Structure 1
């Protein structure tokens, strides 16, 4: 049995100022709650859209759909290297302007009547312009969306005038994660679960506690995150920072693939990823392990730092790299969930083999979660229970629901953040 040093599993709920009572199920199943979250949370918060590396050079763009608010955002990097965001809607007959999810181009032309726009939003072309009535092209540009970047992350705010700046929204979290590394952010393996039948909060909750891992994932990562010294996969640390939150998970230092797992043993025989969730060798992403906010207690046996940027964006840092998960509410009980797993470009066949195994493992873990979450949603909707009970290791979930309740009730964003 591996002995853990004293106090390696600290209390997390009460020291972070959180309650300990039952949590209501209503926000996970109520249509009224869905409407309140749509307006009070997603309609007012700064929303993370991804990384600047998704716009690798001037004149590149991505299109991001925020279904919960009925918005299709066109995010561009213009010729002056400025990142901007617009409603992806033509000014003429309000048709969708750009159909592709990503690409390169300094101009966009509507496929309905050939109205043209620069990627800075200006309208630059109107066929048969003289047949309009006193048309002023200066007022016909794309509708801007407030857009800012922080440490390479792109955020938008859907309010006509954001109540707080991005810096104010991030608060102490932004200070703590200043200069956080993002190795291989320009390379990504993506998994898109487009229409999962589960509430978005229930879905994101599943990735923010490790209590379930030994039970739900026994053959994939169960023994990666637990052993005899920590059979219930208790967290090693956790910090609430304003509306945002982080947690350090335990990693089994004695983990070895099963003797019957011949492919896994071969995949990791020559690669030290720090744990099997890593998509890169630990030496390639060493900066992650040195950042003061990642595994802040510097405990050797850690597996991941789960970073939850309110409301719906997760970053998983590990000794072997990082990946992101984003959860977009579609209806009260359906969610779109996107994973971007960042790995280096393979230098040889062995590394490519290890990465393919890693990606397949991640997809398998996700599938295990999907089936469970859809069953849980049906059970929640059955009315068999009206509350859920959370233990200390599930403090991220408790902070999430308490924060959402605060945002739903608060008349202003500034009040929601206090």
Structure 2
């Protein structure tokens, strides 16, 4: 773990020099050809977060996920045996999608076209006049995609030879399992579409250099005193993943209604034993496109899904343990969501402005300073895989 200096001005340059210090090529942030290589080398070969176990509480529960980078519609189902599985949302007769609903509960899934019917384990149960096909039902099961979970979060991987999820997450798996997200029973979600590359979007949430300029109204708790840029207290790296410990202003300017919301949220977290969890100020960034924060009063995940070289979608979820106990707790949770969304909404236009500038081709390179080391680390992890894939080597 790389610790910040006493005044939080910056981590010493030589402490992160192993990442390099030179300019970074700009083209990977807007070039369609590079994006296509990313799809193949990164997103189709990595564990991608797509939901939470609390969405599938009982046998027959299902959720549908559309993943543009894979041109795939996935059906995630809890089977009668309690196991979670992911299938392509396609009938094995002639490819018709089985499910249009975003979520629900069913004991079977029937194709609307010819009524081929599948069980929650993906097996073909029945099909009209099936004898005419000369097939075995066992050979007509729904095509499956690797699915696993850690800390309640669900991940899929389109690479059949992928290493197990916990190995992929490394030392951060144990940290994730000790965050409030791992205990969550419900969540609040919002999503946004943005005219920007997924890396450019994701990077905005990996560095605090911009806080005092973009969030002067809403980001007061993250900057101030000896830390005018809100730099993290520490950074760490583990394989393609990374982390930082968020610094908190000890004397933030808090309005009375904010203090009331924070106080009620704090008491609710204390009642559920969440204040004693060890990673309350840690930000975990999981390669390629997910980060989570373990604060007990506002635990959330943020996943940035690539759609095109200059377009992506962010999904932000705040996770809660138990339903609202009373109106006071409801107020605290609603404020946690509103404040987070307010901060993120301030970022959108500036990220899109950056994309327009890069897409113009005016710059051959961009620059990262030492306190933007997490951004540089992401670029290097992506480019290593893209380069290896282009050369026909497995990264």
Shared fold by TM > 0.5? Answer: yes
Aligned counterpart for 2:343 among listed residues 365, 385, 407: 365
Return closer, same or farther for 1:281/1:372 CA change in 2, 3 Å cut-off: farther
Corresponding residue SS for 1:397: helix
Any idea what the Cα deviations from partners look like across 1:95-116, whole Å, max 9, x if unmatched? 1111111111121111121110
Aligned counterpart for 1:375 among listed residues 327, 330, 353: 353
Match of 2:76 in 1: 75
Distance 1:36 1:357 in 2: 41
Count residues in correspondence.
Answer: 389
Match of 1:318 in 2: 295
Return closer, same or farther for 1:282/1:148 CA change in 2, 3 Å cut-off: closer
TM-aligned CA deviation for residue 315 of structure 1 = 0.5
* 1:400 is the counterpart of 2:378: yes
Corresponding residue SS for 2:28: helix
Q: Would you say the 8 A contact 2:152–2:183 is kept in 1?
A: no
Structure having the higher helix fraction is: 2
Q: Would you say the 8 A contact 1:285–1:320 is kept in 2?
A: no
Corresponding residue SS for 2:96: coil
Any idea what the Cα deviations from partners look like across 1:253-310, whole Å, max 9, x if unmatched? 111324xxx5435534x4364xxxxxx745246546542xx36xxxxxxxx4221111
Unaligned runs of 5+ in 2: none
* 1:267 is the counterpart of 2:245: no
TM-aligned CA deviation for residue 336 of structure 1 = 1.2
Q: Would you say the 8 A contact 2:152–2:184 is kept in 1?
A: no
Any idea what the Cα deviations from partners look like across 1:217-236, whole Å, max 9, x if unmatched? 11112x11011211111110
Distance 1:399 1:337 in 2: 20
* Aligned CA-pair RMSD: 2.5
Match of 1:242 in 2: 239
Distance 2:178 2:341 in 1: 29
Any idea what the Cα deviations from partners look like across 1:129-173, whole Å, max 9, x if unmatched? 24x3313211111001112223332221102x2242323322333
Match of 1:300 in 2: none
Q: Would you say the 8 A contact 1:68–1:329 is kept in 2?
A: yes
Match of 2:95 in 1: 94
Match of 2:33 in 1: 32
Aligned counterpart for 1:226 among listed residues 223, 226, 229: 223
Aligned counterpart for 2:209 among listed residues 202, 206, 211: 211
Corresponding residue SS for 1:395: helix
Compute the TM-score of the two structures, normalised by the length of structure 2: 0.91
Match of 2:149 in 1: 149
Instruction: Give the stretch that moved more between structures: 60-69 or 7-16.
Output: 7-16
Q: Would you say the 8 A contact 1:9–1:237 is kept in 2?
A: no
Match of 2:47 in 1: 46
Return closer, same or farther for 1:266/1:165 CA change in 2, 3 Å cut-off: closer
TM-aligned CA deviation for residue 35 of structure 1 = 0.5
Instruction: Give the stretch that moved more between structures: 332-341 or 404-413.
Output: 404-413
Compute the TM-score of the two structures, normalised by the length of structure 1: 0.86
Distance 1:396 1:5 in 2: 17
Return closer, same or farther for 1:350/1:272 CA change in 2, 3 Å cut-off: closer
* 1:11 is the counterpart of 2:11: yes
Aligned counterpart for 2:309 among listed residues 317, 328, 332: 332
Distance 1:358 1:191 in 2: 13
Return closer, same or farther for 1:6/1:331 CA change in 2, 3 Å cut-off: closer
Match of 2:369 in 1: 391
